């Protein structure tokens, strides 16, 4: 996809399997895919900025974003808040919405998906997302490499990482 300069995605249900794993103490866990993490490294190698937009606010996502060296992290976004975050990123990067790729999984991602240059969703996404004109549907579920499959599709043939 020529012209895409920023790759953004949702977190819960997209980068994770959407499950909420809790201990009796109340501590929570999320399952992320290592394959998706490598996908973000491939994006960085290609000179693409990255970001996560999520409705939840949790140190788990902040830690994951730091580990992956994500350029933009917006937590606590409601559906229209996600679109506002994307517009803010576009302003910072001096680009238009057509220069943004976005991957999501549920109805709260619709406002962004309806506006960006590359739209994608994971295999287990809500039916309304899968029905969007021009959307790329990953062959894999969220948290199981669904985002990586779309990154590979978008970048073309997967390449080896530089050491």
Q: What is the pLDDT of residues 125-148, one digit of tens each?
A: 999 999 999 999 999 999 999 999
DSSP 28: E
Tokens of 91: 């302003």
pLDDT for 55 equals: 92
pLDDT class for 14, splitting at 50, 70, 90? very high
pLDDT recorded at residue 140: 97
Domains of the chain with CATH codes: 6-155 (3.40.50.1000)
Q: Which phi and psi (to 5°) does residue 100 adopt? A: -115, 135
65 CB-contact burial (10 Å; exposed 0-12 / middle 13-18 / buried 19+) = buried
pLDDT in tens, 30-67: 999 999 999 999 999 999 999 999 999 999 999 999 99
Instruction: Supply the pLDDT for residue 162.
Output: 41
Q: What is the pLDDT of residue 157?
A: 59
- Say what the pLDDT of residue 159 is: 52
**Where does the pLDDT of residue 78 fall: very low under 50, low under 70, confident under 90, or very high at 90 and above?**
confident
Instruction: List 72's β-bridge partners, or say none.
Output: 51
The answer, yes or no, to whether residue 26 has pLDDT greater than 90, is no
Which residues, at least 6 apart from 55, have a Cβ–Cβ distance to it below 8 Å? 12, 76, 77, 78, 82, 108
User: What confidence score (pLDDT) does residue 1 get?
Assistant: 53
Weakest-pLDDT range from 20-34, 55-69, 99-113: 20-34
């Amino acid at each position: 996809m020529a012209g895409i300069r920023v790759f953004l995605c949702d977190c819960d249900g997209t980068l994770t399997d959407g499950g909420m794993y809790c201990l009796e103490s109340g501590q929570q866990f999320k399952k992320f895919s290592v394959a998706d993490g490598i996908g973000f490294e491939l994006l960085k190698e290609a000179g693409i900025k990255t970001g996560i937009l999520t409705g939840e606010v949790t140190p788990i996502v902040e830690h994951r974003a730091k580990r992956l060296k994500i350029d933009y992290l917006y937590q606590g976004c409601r559906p229209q808040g996600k679109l506002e975050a994307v517009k803010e990123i576009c302003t910072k990067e001096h680009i238009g919405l057509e220069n943004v790729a976005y991957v999501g999984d549920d109805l709260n991602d619709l406002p962004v998906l309806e506006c960006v240059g590359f739209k994608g969703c994971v295999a287990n996404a809500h039916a309304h997302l899968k029905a969007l004109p021009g959307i790329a549907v990953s062959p894999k579920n969220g948290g199981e490499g669904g985002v990586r499959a779309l990154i590979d599709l978008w970048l073309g043939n997967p390449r080896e990482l530089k050491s």
